Amino acid sequence: MKKVIEVDEIRTVFGTKVVHDGVSLSISEGEIYGLLGPSGCGKTTLMREMVMLQEFQSGSIKVLGKKVNTISHAEAQKLRKEWGVLFQAGALFSSLSIYENIALPLIEYTDLSEKMIEEIVRFKIDLVGLKSSDAYLYPSQISGGMKKKAGLARALAMDPKLLFLDEPTSGLDPISAREFDKLILNLRSMLGLTIVMVSHDLQSIYDTLDKVAIIDNKKIAYEGTLAEVTSVKSEFIENFFGEEQV
């Protein structure tokens, strides 16, 4: 299957602290791919490197066929329109309403009419399970779960092929978290998205992920399906997936 993201021998160093030392993985089209690992292992850092928010010392990352470390400004701008990113706390623009947040990329990047944009925004709001009455609220007026949904709607505004989710279910109550999982699965089957996510939520990991990469001790400890994850010896894997085996 076509590779959407290829990470090759990444090395990341913060000051004197080595975060990644030769991390490689590849993500195929249509997969829901999870980055797992203990706190501070550099999952989020790796994801930030994929979306060009963070530089790395050596190695290469290819996203949708483009090498992000040597990409030109114009190509980078093009790439940025092809993915959506959901940040941990939503990262909605606080000076804009939910509607304006979702409409912003459409207004900036397309020449669609106002009516068409409204139509699209309404559809995205419905898609993620927000009420249309929430559209004109500001980010400070809505709950954490709604912020995540609104953030997801914004990430989906441009119909991306690739979606990055940073701990999508953290800070949600269990019911909303399961709803969010269902939403992600639905989106994948409806829109054919490739989804990369960082997660700590075991239930969500079992419910949604097709493939995982476990980063432990600066390297990939395991890459593959969840079914075989316990075949690998690693303290993190034993602690994290251990109880399921008993």
Query: Does residue 91 bind other proteins (CB under 8 A)?
Result: yes
Query: Does residue 83 bind other proteins (CB under 8 A)?
Result: yes
Q: Please name the residue that has the structure tokens 């490197």.
A: 49
Give residues 98-127 in contact with other proteins (rule: CB under 8 A): 104-105, 108-109
Q: How far is the CB of 22 from other proteins (least distance, A)?
A: 26
Q: What are the tokens at 246?
A: 């008993």
Contacting residue, 81, 122, 200, 218, with other proteins by CB under 8 A: 81
Closer residue to other proteins (CB): 76 or 202: 76
Stretch that binds other proteins, among 59-67, 81-89, 126-134, 215-223 (CB under 8 A): 81-89
Closer residue to other proteins (CB): 108 or 243: 108
Query: Does residue 11 bind other proteins (CB under 8 A)?
Result: no
Host H or E run for residue 115:
helix 114-127
> Strand, helix or coil at 132?
helix
Report which DSSP code applies to 157. T
Query: Does residue 138 bind other proteins (CB under 8 A)?
Result: no
Query: Residues binding other proteins: what is the number (CB under 8 A)?
Result: 22
C-beta of residue 109 within 8 angstroms of C-beta of residue 82 = no
> Strand, helix or coil at 26?
strand
Contacting residue, 19, 92, 146, 197, with other proteins by CB under 8 A: 92
Give residues 167-226 in contact with other proteins (rule: CB under 8 A): none
Query: Does residue 141 bind other proteins (CB under 8 A)?
Result: no
Query: Does residue 64 bind other proteins (CB under 8 A)?
Result: no
Q: Please name the residue that has the structure tokens 């990352």.
A: 61
Q: How far is the CB of 89 from other proteins (least distance, A)?
A: 7
Closer residue to other proteins (CB): 90 or 214: 90
Report angle CA 86, 91, 95 to the nearest 5 degrees: 140
Report angle CA 15, 20, 22 to the nearest 5 degrees: 130
Contacting residue, 24, 66, 87, 110, with other proteins by CB under 8 A: 87
Contact residues for 33 (Cβ-Cβ < 8 A; gap 6+) = 27, 194, 195, 196, 197, 209, 210, 211, 212, 213
Closer residue to other proteins (CB): 95 or 133: 95
Q: Three-state secondary structure along 159-217? A: CCCEEEEECCCCCCCHHHHHHHHHHHHHHHHHHCCEEEEECCCHHHHHHHCCEEEEEEC
Q: How far is the CB of 93 from other proteins (least distance, A)?
A: 6
Q: Which residues bind other proteins (CB under 8 A)?
A: 48, 51-53, 76-77, 80-81, 83, 85, 87-89, 91-94, 104-105, 108-109, 164
